[in-house]
Amino acid sequence: MSQLKFTKDHEWVRLEGGVATVGITDHAQTALGDVVFVDLPEAGRVVEPGDACAVVESVKAASDVYAPLAGTILESNEALSADPALVNSAPTGEGWFFKMTPADLSAIDALMDEAAYLAFVDSQS
């Protein structure tokens, strides 16, 4: 399994065979609390880095999820419609949000590795 990369908006990205899988981090799901609904992007949508392209809702509030890279949405995780709590129980596994084809594969190198992300989270608290 390839290494996860992270954004300052608390998304993770896993690049495998030219496809990037995106979700929200364990830190993000803990902060949000019980996830009750996820609004996911449609396949074919072209996104720029930082575009709000999904929404995650807890009992208390709605939060945007941003595209970590430029590219095209390939598919969304339909399992989250039936069981949004997967975001809490398996944030970096079955709780993924969408897969995308990055316009530039090398752009992922600019994202944080796990150590840098954890240091970033610490600096925010």
Contact positions with other proteins (CB under 8 A) in 23-42: 33-34, 36-37, 39
Q: Which of 1, 59, 122, 123 binds other proteins (CB under 8 A)?
A: 59
CA distances from 91 to 62, 87, 110, 120 (A): 17, 5, 22, 19
> Is the Cβ–Cβ distance between 65 and 53 less than 8 Å?
yes
Complex with other proteins: residue 18 or 44, whichever CB lies closer: 44
Q: What is the largest CA-CA distance in the chain?
A: 37
Contact positions with other proteins (CB under 8 A) in 81-120: 84
Asked if residue 8 binds other proteins (CB under 8 A), the reply is no
CA distance 116 to 103: 24
3-state secondary structure of 116: helix
**Minimal distance in Å, beta carbon 19 to other proteins?**
27
Q: What are the tokens at 91?
A: 């944030």
Complex with other proteins: residue 14 or 27, whichever CB lies closer: 27
Complex with other proteins: residue 13 or 53, whichever CB lies closer: 53
**Minimal distance in Å, beta carbon 38 to other proteins?**
9
